[in-house]
């Protein structure tokens, strides 16, 4: 998330009650998660395991619960006891949840020749391009950006919160929500089926690129990037922060785990499960998904076990 | 389902045109299915196979199509030809389906600082606590009870009817709906993703306990009990009358069959299928789900069949 | 799709800028896809591989991009460079997409004692019979026909567009939508769960026959035929143009591929995948689905591989 305008570290430190170690007059341009952070951004870290990665990341300012770390030149620390709570405070300050009473927010920018059907919800600062059809009972949540010639079938949800929690099993409620402040970006000529759900990025964007088509009940997790001209059949589920390169085909009920990459023009056959990255240009099958030919041969081998048993018994 | 106030067996017998065998002045406090029935309740049974279980259950009053059974002391029979139709008559009398023209029923009790977004439906006698967010296009059906600090993402349905039918294959329409009169109870700090569906209990409650979090497109069947601090990833499906104990994690697309128990702190890996009960504290995988290590070794053994074949051929 | 009234080939040829080879005064009664085409209909073909099948089909008029074909007697060609675009032109002419501002179209025909709950969308020329309940936030798209005594739970979408594309990988946007102009037909005593999606036929009808019951989040693809008294558990997905005969039971999360047939009274166990036709009256399991007993034995054999390995090592 970018701030509406750059803000000094001093102001941030007051907001989250932190001590500045470095240059108080330096400005932050936004806040992002570690894997999405850019120069000028704030990042937060509360576990020693990730101190170094955060300090060495693109982040310019690090909200941290430890002062005894070596800070790279030009970077600033914001020291506080609970960086996770500091993150929530910043998000709630710059992107507070606000309800709305009208189904379509008045600040929504909707292009020419675009049809918004009845019972559609459109949140704040949503942009929708030209020649789109948004079918009934669709929910388009805050900050979503939709290009031109996009069709979204009925009942679909664009921009629901990330399923992303801070976990501590020694408290009464184990999971505390990492408040989402990112959005969903849908490019030109994308079509999305009925009853789909696309989560927004935690701090950045979930992106669906040009020409990709999804059938009904497809789920796309937060911060996932989907390339151009992909084809997802019904009931496909893709977890968070995954990269699906251009031209990938996923057949019905395929499940894809988080933070992996499926290479360009790969095809994954129906009901397969993808627990780790797959190279492009090949066809995969099964759980865990392997090259389809390998897997098919395996099925044949399984059928030969009784014959093998008999051979062994006879010897 | 509890009746609004206790009602005599005589009154019930008139309603369903049944003969009372026992004490007509005894009162019934409600009607429930066999596995949910409590003292004071009515239960119905039409198949000899279940006569005894029903007569020995907690039920005080048994609607039955046979008089020649031995009735435990203090219990009463309501004899009629079609106990299933009698059940429907009672449900339709005490909890008739009623439509409503307003999207939010006027008798709904909604707490402080709770946001109801546009296009939400709220049925009759719904209770929602404080500090909740009900996102757009959510449907919260009759009698649902929601605690405090609950978030429900867009497009989700809470309290749809149980998928539960009386089956007779010798009639034109095989499946006759067992009318639901139960509800859904969602406790504090629960979060439910977008596009989920949680069915209400047939006569009792489907319960989601404190702190449990569900991702998008999760399905929970009727009368299922979900414990505290569970985590369900996207597209998980849980059938009816299942018990998921505290701290259970189900990863994406896991399917869980009906009337079984998954023990506390168990983890079931993505796409696994659970046809029978699982002990707590372990990690499971595959269909049928087994301990993950066992299953992983099995996958390795399958890959060794060709080598084994070769060894056998050589001997 | 049938035209509102028969139309001469000459008029069609003007609309799509085609050359008539045959009788210009002949009339077309409708346009349909190859596998749904009837006498009097137009069909289109642009790939030489399908020329013959189209020419030999029931179609009376063939929109084609080649004149050098032998035309069966009594049939007419409409020659043009791009038959696919001609198809789109015809569909957009006779069934143009039109938005609507009211949630319930005024021309909808709704029967007696049928309840339409709040936030329901009903498109144009929809017919709904008597004694139905349409729960909140349901979307019933244009031309849908619903019989008597039908229940549709909340959030479900009936009549979303077919997931059906013209594919050419040498253009910027690979997939171009084959505009749907068919509908969904739901017969008497059907019940459909919450969060389901049923796509309309591309040019013909997706049909759900009498007495069939579906649990939540079931997906039915375009042009699929579902017989009487079928039972589909939650999260079942059925692809396009499939035939499910009477009395078929599909348990939770079963996936069924396109254009196949599942025979009457077959049962497919949970999470199974059906890539090809299955004979009726049997129980199936696994992916690819096989007779359940065969598959169960296979699972036992897999568990015996280590024992087999040991035996071989000892010899």
H helix intervals, chain A: 9-16, 48-55, 83-94, 292-303, 305-314
Nearest CA to B243 out of B206, B291, B193, B285 is that of B206
Global pTM exceeds 0.90: yes
What is the extent of the structural domain holding A253? Answer: 109-295
SS3 C143: coil
Instruction: Give the whole-angstrom CA distance, residue C272 versus residue C296.
Output: 13
Does residue C202 sit in the same domain as residue C121?
yes
CA distances from C14 to A48, A59, A162, B99, C74 (A): 74, 63, 52, 51, 21
pLDDT at C71: 94
The tokens describing A306, both together, are 């009784």
Q: Chain-centre distance of CA B190, in angstroms?
A: 17
Nearest CA to B152 out of B199, B110, B120 is that of B120
Does residue B129 sit in the same domain as residue B250?
yes
B93: enclosing H helix or E strand: helix B83-94
Report pLDDT digits (tens) over A7-22.
999 999 999 999 999 9
Pairing of strands B237-238, B219-220: parallel
Distance from CA of B121 to the nearest CA of C (A): 7
Mean pLDDT, range B209-234, rounded to an integer: 98
Distance from CA of C242 to the nearest CA of A (A): 14
Report pLDDT digits (tens) over A99-146.
999 999 999 999 999 999 999 999 999 999 999 999 999 999 999 999
Is B315 part of any domain? no
pLDDT at C314: 85
Does residue C213 sit in the same domain as residue C246?
yes
The tokens describing B263, both together, are 């023990």
Pairing of strands B27-31, B2-8: antiparallel
CATH number at residue C134: 2.160.10.10
Q: Answer yes or no: A35 catalytic.
A: no
Is A102 part of any domain? no
Mean pLDDT, range C167-184, rounded to an integer: 96
Query: Is pLDDT at C315 greater than 80 in this prediction?
Result: no
Q: Is C290 exposed, middle or buried (0-12, 13-18, 19+ CB in 10 A)?
A: middle
Q: Which residue of A has its CA nearest to C235?
A: A235
Query: Is pLDDT at B315 greater than 80 in this prediction?
Result: no
Q: Which of B60, B94, B128 is the C-terminal boundary of a domain?
A: B94
pLDDT at C35: 85
Residues in chain A: 315
- C130 and C111 in contact (C-beta within 8 Å)? yes
Residues 6+ apart with CB under 8 A from B108: B122, B123, B124, B125, B126, B127, B128
Pairing of strands C19-21, C76-79: antiparallel
Query: Is pLDDT at A315 greater than 80 in this prediction?
Result: no
Distance from CA of B99 to the nearest CA of A (A): 19
Is B301 part of any domain? no
Report yes or no: B103 at the A interface, CB cutoff 8 Å: no
Q: Which residue of B has its CA nearest to A312?
A: B312
Q: What is the DSSP letter of B278?
A: B
Whether residue A278 is preceded by a cis peptide bond, meaning omega within 30 degrees of 0, is: no
Q: Which of A36, A68, A94 is the C-terminal boundary of a domain?
A: A94
Report yes or no: B101 at the C interface, CB cutoff 8 Å: yes
Report pLDDT digits (tens) over B119-139.
999 999 999 999 999 999 999
Largest Cα–Cα distance of chain A, in whole Å? 85
Is A300 part of any domain? no
H helix intervals, chain C: 9-16, 48-55, 83-94, 292-303, 305-314
Distance from CA of C60 to the nearest CA of B (A): 39
Nearest CA to A137 out of A160, A153, A114, A125 is that of A153
Give the CA radius of gyration of chain B: 23
Classify the phi-psi angles of A51: left when phi > 0, otherwise alpha if psi is within -120 to 50, otherwise beta.
Answer: alpha
Instruction: Give the whole-angstrom CA distance, residue A264 versus residue A283.
Output: 11
Question: Where in the sequence numbering do the catalytic residues of C fall?
Answer: 222
The tokens describing A238, both together, are 């893709």
User: How many CB atoms within 10 Å of residue B103?
Assistant: 18
The tokens describing B157, both together, are 């349905």
Query: Is pLDDT at C23 greater than 80 in this prediction?
Result: yes
pLDDT at B314: 85
In chain A, residues with a C-beta closer than 8 Å to the C-beta of C196 are 195
Report yes or no: C270 at the B interface, CB cutoff 8 Å: yes
User: How many CB atoms within 10 Å of residue B5?
Assistant: 7
Instruction: Give the whole-angstrom CA distance, residue A102 versus residue C90.
Output: 38
Q: What is the DSSP letter of C10?
A: H
Structure confidence at residue A35 as a pLDDT band (50, 70, 90): confident
Residues 191-230 of B with CB under 8 A from C: 195-197, 199, 217, 219, 221
Instruction: Write b or e for each residue in A128-166: b if 16 or more Cβ atoms lie within 10 A of its Cβ, otherwise e.
Output: bbebbbbbbbbbbbbbbbbbbbbbbbbbbbbbbbbbbee
Is A140 part of any domain? yes
Distance from CA of C153 to the nearest CA of B (A): 6
Does residue C132 sit in the same domain as residue C270?
yes
Mean pLDDT, range A214-229, rounded to an integer: 98
List the beta bridge partners of residue C116. Answer: C134
Which of B115, B119, B216 has the CB atom closest to A199's CB atom? B216
Q: What is the dihedral of CA B116, B117, B123, B125, to 10 degrees?
A: 0
Does residue B88 sit in the same domain as residue B116?
no
CB contact under 8 A, B237 and C217: yes
Which of C221, C275, C311 has the CB atom closest to A312's CB atom? C311
Largest Cα–Cα distance of chain B, in whole Å? 84
In chain A, residues with a C-beta closer than 8 Å to the C-beta of B231 are 165, 175
Residues 116-145 of B with CB under 8 A from C: 119, 121, 137-139, 141
CB contact under 8 A, A137 and B133: no
Report pLDDT digits (tens) over A159-208.
999 999 999 999 999 999 999 999 999 999 999 999 999 999 999 999 99
Q: What is the DSSP letter of A200?
A: P
CB contact under 8 A, B117 and A102: no
Instruction: Give the whole-angstrom CA distance, residue B63 versus residue B19.
Output: 10
Does residue C157 sit in the same domain as residue C36?
no
Report pLDDT digits (tens) over A250-279.
999 999 999 999 999 999 999 999 999 999
- A266 and A285 in contact (C-beta within 8 Å)? no
Report yes or no: B301 at the A interface, CB cutoff 8 Å: no
Nearest CA to B185 out of B129, B230, B137 is that of B129
Does residue B121 sit in the same domain as residue B43?
no
CB contact under 8 A, C189 and B173: yes
Does residue A180 sit in the same domain as residue A244?
yes
Work out the angle between the directed axes of helices A305-314 and B305-314 (0-180°, nearest 10).
30
Structure confidence at residue A314 as a pLDDT band (50, 70, 90): confident
Report yes or no: B110 at the A interface, CB cutoff 8 Å: no
Chains that touch B (3 or more CB pairs under 8 A): A, C
Is A123 part of any domain? yes
Instruction: Give the whole-angstrom CA distance, residue C113 versus residue C133.
Output: 9
Residues in chain B: 315
Mean pLDDT, range C105-123, rounded to an integer: 97
Nearest CA to C155 out of B304, B270, B155 is that of B155
Nearest CA to C273 out of A235, B19, A110 is that of A235
Identify the residue whose tokens are 């009735």.
Answer: B71
Q: Could you give phi then psi for residue B185, rounded to 5 degrees?
A: -120, 120
Catalytic residue (one of A61, A135, A219, A222): A222
Angle at CA C236, nearest 5°, toward C230 and C242?
65
Identify the residue whose tokens are 């919800």.
Answer: A121
* DSSP codes joined into one string, C33-91: -GGG--TTEEEEE-SHHHHHHHHTSS-SEEEES-S-SPPPTT-EEEE-S-HHHHHHHHH
Is A99 part of any domain? no
Does residue C159 sit in the same domain as residue C192?
yes
Does residue A119 sit in the same domain as residue A242?
yes
Task: Tell me how many domains chain B contains.
Answer: 2
Does residue A140 sit in the same domain as residue A226?
yes
Does the CA dihedral C47-C50-C56-C59 come out positive or negative? negative
Percentage of chain A exceeding pLDDT 70: 100
Structure confidence at residue B35 as a pLDDT band (50, 70, 90): confident
Does residue A127 sit in the same domain as residue A275?
yes
In chain B, residues with a C-beta closer than 8 Å to the C-beta of C303 are 298
Which strands sit side by side in the sheet containing A157-160, from one edge to the other? A121-122, A139-140, A157-160, A197-199, A219-220, A237-238, A255-256, A273-274
Chains that touch C (3 or more CB pairs under 8 A): A, B
Nearest CA to C206 out of C228, C182, C232 is that of C182
Nearest CA to A181 out of A143, A139, A225, A227 is that of A143
The tokens describing C39, both together, are 């006498």
pLDDT at B45: 96
Is B311 part of any domain? no
Instruction: Give the whole-angstrom CA distance, residue A115 versus residue A131.
Output: 8
Q: Which of A94, A125, A145 is the C-terminal boundary of a domain?
A: A94
CATH number at residue B53: 3.40.1390.10
């Amino acid at each position: 998330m970018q701030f509406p305008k750059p803000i000094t570290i001093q102001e941030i430190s007051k907001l989250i009650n932190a001590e500045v170690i470095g240059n108080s007059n330096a400005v932050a341009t936004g806040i992002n998660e570690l894997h999405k952070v850019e120069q000028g951004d704030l990042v937060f870290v509360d576990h020693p395991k990730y101190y170094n990665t955060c300090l060495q990341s693109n982040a310019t300012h690090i909200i941290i619960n430890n002062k005894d770390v070596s800070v790279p030149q030009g970077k600033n620390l914001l020291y506080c006891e609970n960086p996770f709570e500091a993150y929530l405070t910043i998000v709630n300050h710059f992107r507070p949840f606000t309800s709305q009473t009208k189904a379509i927010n008045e600040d929504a920018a909707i292009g020419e020749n675009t049809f918004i059907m009845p019972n559609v919800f459109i949140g704040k600062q949503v942009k929708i391009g030209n020649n789109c059809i948004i079918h009934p009972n669709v929910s388009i949540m805050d900050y979503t950006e939709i290009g031109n010639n996009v069709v979204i079938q009925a009942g679909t949800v664009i921009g629901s919160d990330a399923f992303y929690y801070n976990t501590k099993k020694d408290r009464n409620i184990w999971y505390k929500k990492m408040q989402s402040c990112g959005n969903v970006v849908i490019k030109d000529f994308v079509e999305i089926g009925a009853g789909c759900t696309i989560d927004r990025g935690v701090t950045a964007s979930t992106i669906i690129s040009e020409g990709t088509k999804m059938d009904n009940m497809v789920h796309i997790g937060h911060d996932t990037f989907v390339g151009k001209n992909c084809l997802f059949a019904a009931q496909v589920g893709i977890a968070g922060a995954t990269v699906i390169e251009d031209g990938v085909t996923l057949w019905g009920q395929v499940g894809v785990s988080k933070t992996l990459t499926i290479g360009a023009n790969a095809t994954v056959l129906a009901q397969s499960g993808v627990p780790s990255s797959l190279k492009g240009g090949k066809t995969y099958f099964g759980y865990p998904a392997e090259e389809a030919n390998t897997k098919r041969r395996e099925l044949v081998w399984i059928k030969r076990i009784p014959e093998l048993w008999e051979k062994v018994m006879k010897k």
